[in-house]
A and B are shown apart, each in its own frame.
Chain A
Amino acid sequence: MAKPRFEYESIDSPLSPEKIPLPKKATIYFKRPYDRRDTLLLKIGDAVKTGQKLLIYEDSDVYAISPVTGTVAGIAPFIGDFGESYTALTIDVSETDTFDEEFGGSFEEPNFETALNYLKTLPGNPPLSDFADPDIHLNTVVVTALDKDLLTLTNQHMAAANVDLLTRGVSMLKRITGVHKVVVAIPQKLIRRAGAIGGASGVELRPISTDYPSALPAFILKEVLGQVIPAGKTNLDMGVSLFGAEALANLTQAFEEKQIPVIKRLTVIRKDLSKVLVEARIGTPVKEIFTALDVTLQDMDRLVIGGPMTGNAVYSDEHPVTPDMDVLMVQDSKDVSLVSDYPCINCGDCNRVCPADIAVNMLVRFCEAREYEAAADEYDLHSCIECGLCTFVCPAKIPIFQYIRLAKHELARSAMEVEPAGPETEEAEEGELAAKEPIETAEAEEAKEETAQTSEE
Chain B
Amino acid sequence: MANQKRFIVSHAPFWHDGSSVTERSYHMMLAALPAVIFGIIKYGMPALAVTALSVSSAILWEAAFRRISKASETVGDGNAALIGLIFAMLLPATSPWWVVVTGTFVAIVIGKEIFGGIGSNPFNPVAVAAAFLMLSWWKYFDFNAALVHYPFDHMAVYPLSALKNFGLSSVEGLTLADLLTGKQTGGIGTTFSLGLIIGGVYLMLRGIIRWEIALSFIAGVFITATIFKANNPEQYAGPMIHILSGYTLLGAFFLATDDSSSPVNLVPMFLYGLIGGLMVVLIRNIGAYIDGTILTILLINTVNPLLDKIRPKALGKVV
Q: Does B153 contact A (CB under 8 A)?
A: no
A310 touches B12 (CB 8 A): yes
B14 touches A343 (CB 8 A): no
Complex contacts, B205 vs chain A, CB 8 Å: 1-2
Selected from B11, B15, B19, the residue in CB contact (under 8 A) with A402 is: B11
Complex contacts, A111 vs chain B, CB 8 Å: none
Q: A2-B205, A395-B23 are in contact. Are A383 and B316 (CB under 8 A)?
A: yes
B314 touches A358 (CB 8 A): yes
Q: Which residue of B lies closest to A385 (CB)?
A: B315
B206 touches A314 (CB 8 A): no
Which of A194-202, A332-340, A409-417 contacts the other chain? Answer: A332-340
Number of interface residues of A (CB under 8 A): 72
B24 touches A395 (CB 8 A): yes
Q: Does A162 contact B (CB under 8 A)?
A: no
Q: A228-B315, A333-B8 are in contact. Are A313 and B119 (CB under 8 A)?
A: no
Complex contacts, A222 vs chain B, CB 8 Å: 315
Complex contacts, A233 vs chain B, CB 8 Å: 316
B13 touches A397 (CB 8 A): no
Selected from A3, A304, A383, the residue in CB contact (under 8 A) with B314 is: A383
Selected from A232, A311, A346, the residue in CB contact (under 8 A) with B12 is: A311
Which of A43-51, A168-176, A347-355 contacts the other chain? Answer: A347-355
Q: Which residue of A lies closest to B16 (CB)?
A: A337
Majority-rule SS of B interface residues: loop
B316 touches A229 (CB 8 A): yes
Q: Does B17 contact A (CB under 8 A)?
A: yes
Complex contacts, A383 vs chain B, CB 8 Å: 314-317
B116 touches A343 (CB 8 A): yes
* B273 vs chain A, min Cβ distance (A): 14
Selected from B12, B15, B206, the residue in CB contact (under 8 A) with A312 is: B12
B207 touches A337 (CB 8 A): no
Q: Does A323 contact B (CB under 8 A)?
A: no
A280-336 interface with B by 8 A CB criterion = 297-304, 306, 308-318, 329, 331, 333, 336
A313 to B19, CA, bound (A): 22
Q: Which residue of B lies closest to A393 (CB)?
A: B17
A394 to B20, CA, bound (A): 8
Per-residue CB contact flags for chain B residues 250-285 toward chain A (1 = under 8 Å, else 0) read: 000000000110101100000000000000000000
Q: Does A128 contact B (CB under 8 A)?
A: no
A303 to B308, CA, bound (A): 40
Complex contacts, A348 vs chain B, CB 8 Å: 210, 259, 264-265
B24 touches A346 (CB 8 A): no
Q: Does B204 contact A (CB under 8 A)?
A: yes
A356 touches B15 (CB 8 A): no
B316 touches A300 (CB 8 A): no
A409 to B83, CA, bound (A): 40
A230 touches B312 (CB 8 A): no
Selected from B15, B23, B117, B264, the residue in CB contact (under 8 A) with A392 is: B15
Most buried by A among B211, B259, B313: B259
A314 touches B19 (CB 8 A): no
Complex contacts, A318 vs chain B, CB 8 Å: 4
Q: Does B240 contact A (CB under 8 A)?
A: no
Q: A2-B205, A357-B314, A358-B314 are in contact. Are A315 and B9 (CB under 8 A)?
A: yes
Q: A299-B5, A316-B7, A343-B116 are in contact. Are A1 and B19 (CB under 8 A)?
A: no
Complex contacts, B7 vs chain A, CB 8 Å: 297, 299-303, 313-317
B145-161 interface with A by 8 A CB criterion = none
B265 touches A302 (CB 8 A): no
* B290 vs chain A, min Cβ distance (A): 31
Q: Which residue of B lies closest to A309 (CB)?
A: B13
Complex contacts, A397 vs chain B, CB 8 Å: 16, 20
Q: Does A388 contact B (CB under 8 A)?
A: yes
Complex contacts, A433 vs chain B, CB 8 Å: none
Q: Does B311 contact A (CB under 8 A)?
A: yes
A1 touches B259 (CB 8 A): no
Q: Does A359 contact B (CB under 8 A)?
A: yes
Q: Which residue of A lies closest to B315 (CB)?
A: A356
Q: Does A218 contact B (CB under 8 A)?
A: yes
Q: A1-B211, A309-B13, A392-B15 are in contact. Are A218 and B8 (CB under 8 A)?
A: no
A232 to B315, CA, bound (A): 10
Q: A395-B24, A396-B21 are in contact. Are A313 and B9 (CB under 8 A)?
A: yes
Complex contacts, B318 vs chain A, CB 8 Å: 230-231
A397 to B14, CA, bound (A): 11
A392 touches B16 (CB 8 A): yes
B199-238 interface with A by 8 A CB criterion = 204-207, 210-211
Q: A357-B314, A358-B314 are in contact. Are A329 and B6 (CB under 8 A)?
A: no
* A400 vs chain B, min Cβ distance (A): 10
B314 touches A337 (CB 8 A): no
Complex contacts, B21 vs chain A, CB 8 Å: 342, 345, 395-396
Complex contacts, A2 vs chain B, CB 8 Å: 205-207
What are 26 A-B pairs with beta-carbon distances under 8 A? A1-B211, A2-B206, A218-B315, A229-B315, A231-B314, A231-B315, A300-B6, A302-B9, A302-B10, A309-B15, A313-B9, A313-B12, A315-B7, A339-B10, A342-B21, A343-B120, A345-B119, A346-B260, A347-B264, A358-B314, A380-B314, A380-B317, A383-B316, A395-B20, A395-B21, A402-B11
Please list the residues of chain A having a beta carbon within 8 angstroms of any beta carbon in chain B: 1-4, 218, 222, 228-233, 297-304, 306, 308-318, 329, 331, 333, 336-339, 342-349, 351-352, 355-359, 361, 380, 382-383, 385, 388-389, 391-397, 399, 401-402, 405
